[in-house]
């Protein structure tokens, strides 16, 4: 399973960094995080205990549909859909469409390296 590198820096720092990269002042190093959160709090919301359990269910049981995952997890499909879309945005899961309207959740990362520096 893929290991995802996650960085944490304030929105202001991230914006300065993006401008510096665009201006050629900084070249991102190989192995630097590609996914960034603005705070530990925002990271902990995405990787909450409930969401980590959900990710583990997806990885272990490989449900075919969101409805299958809803049955496994005991969560409502609408709640799952919102949670999984957020996790997809960060590259943690993939929501693969098949059979016209069915969506299969796929765990893309189950290990996380977190980079956080107090500057």
- CA distances (Å), origin 100, targets 63, 93, 95, 97: 17, 20, 13, 7
Range of the domain at 64: 2-116
Spacing of C-alpha 68 from chain mean position:
21
Q: How many domains does the chain have?
A: 1
Question: CATH number, domain at 6?
Answer: 1.10.10.10
- The average pLDDT across 36-54 equals 95
Q: Which pLDDT value is given to residue 97? A: 92
What is the pLDDT of the chain when averaged over all its residues?
Answer: 92
pTM for this entry: 0.84
């Amino acid at each position: 399973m893929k290991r995802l590198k996650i960085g944490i820096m304030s929105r202001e720092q991230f914006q300065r960094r993006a401008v510096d990269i665009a201006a050629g002042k900084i070249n991102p190093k190989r192995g630097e995080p590609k996914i960034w959160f603005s705070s530990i709090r925002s990271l902990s919301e995405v990787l909450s205990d409930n969401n980590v359990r959900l990710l583990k269910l997806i990885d272990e049981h490989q449900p075919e549909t969101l409805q299958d995952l809803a049955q496994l997890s005991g969560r409502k499909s609408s709640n799952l859909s919102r949670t999984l879309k957020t996790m997809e945005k960060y590259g943690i899961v993939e929501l693969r469409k098949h059979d016209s309207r069915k969506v299969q959740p796929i765990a893309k990362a189950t290990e996380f390296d977190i980079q956080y520096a107090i500057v």
